[in-house]
Structure 1
Amino acid sequence: MKKLESREDIELLVNAFYAKVIDDETIGLFFKDIVKVDWDLHLPKMYSFWETILFGQMSYKGNPMSMHFPVNKIKAMEKHHFERWLQLWKLTIEENFTGENASMAITKSENIANLMSYKMEMARKQ
């Protein structure tokens, strides 16, 4: 196992994670059927997002929360969807990395999943 310590490591992590997500029965439909993600655009954004979160590089520009609200209107993004996202993310980290940044990537993802789940639920109640 190696430490999570570079942009290249983040790219490996994000690519391995989304390889799982695409085929996942619980959340894959959001990416394939609803959003129809353009991976050439999405993946570099995710590399920058996690580089900013983990290394403070400030390479990500955007509001990740705002991108999810329109999807939530088409199909409810519910707690179990975020739990599955988190499960796949943790599994991918644990398969590939060790160390402080790997642990921080898990902690940050837990916070993100909980916040997004809450915000999507609140948006559906409005």
Structure 2
Amino acid sequence: MQLQDIGNLEDITLLVNTFYEKVQKDDLIGPIFNQKMIGRWPEHLEKMYRFWQTILLEEHTYSGSPFPPHKHLPVNQAHFDRWMELFTTTVDTLFTGKLAEEAKVRAANMAYMFHYKIEYFRNQEK
């Protein structure tokens, strides 16, 4: 099967659903997500569709600030590394092209910034 680039909301939905299926089953990050998302997975997935649609397709359907809900998560660098590993593998399995590469770069930047900010707030509270 020839892989195509991310091109529409259907592709974003496939990416997000496939990625979060892996997240939910993952031994390291799954428990954190599953505990935080009890009864709210559909709502979270919808938000992620809109987020990535806005970022990658420049169709502005997401508004809000993505960081605050993550501020107090019990995570460290290993969690972000695993998140990136799952995300990158998911993108590479499903897509190839400019937007697929852009998705990985944006995810890496987001993971770096979230980790930095979480550590910053943790240190402020000591």
**Alignment match, 2:10:** 8
Which residue is equivalent to 2:20? Answer: 18
Is residue 120 of structure 1 aligned with residue 83 of structure 2?
no
Map of 1:107 onto structure 2:
105
> Displacement of 1:33 after TM fit?
2.0
Amino acid at match of 2:107: S
- Shift in Å at residue 28 of structure 1? 0.4
Q: Which residue among 81, 84, 88 is the counterpart of 1:83? A: 81
Q: Which amino acid aligns with 2:29?
A: I
Structure having the higher helix fraction is 1
Task: Give the structure 2 partner of residue 94 of structure 1.
Answer: 92
CA distance in 2, matches of 1:42, 1:35: 8
Q: 1:36 to 1:124 in 2, by over 3 A?
A: same
Does the Cα contact within 8 Å between 1:31 and 1:37 map onto a contact in 2? no
Q: Give the % identical residues.
A: 39
Following superposition, the deviation at residue 35 of structure 1 comes to 4.0
Q: Distance in 2 between matches of 1:37 and 1:68?
A: 17
User: 2: CA distance between counterparts of 1:30 and 1:64?
Assistant: 17
Structure 1 unaligned regions, length at least 5: none
How many equivalent residue pairs?
122
**Structure 1 residues 115, 25: closer, same or farther in 2, change over 3 A?**
same
TM-score between the two structures when normalised by the length of structure 1: 0.92
Alpha-carbon RMSD: 1.1
Aligned residue identity for 1:61: S
In structure 2, the CA distance between the partners of 1:62 and 1:31, relative to structure 1 (3 Å rule), is same
Equivalent AA in structure 2 for residue 110 of structure 1 = A
Q: Which amino acid aligns with 1:13?
A: L
Deviation at 1:37, TM superposition (A): 5.3
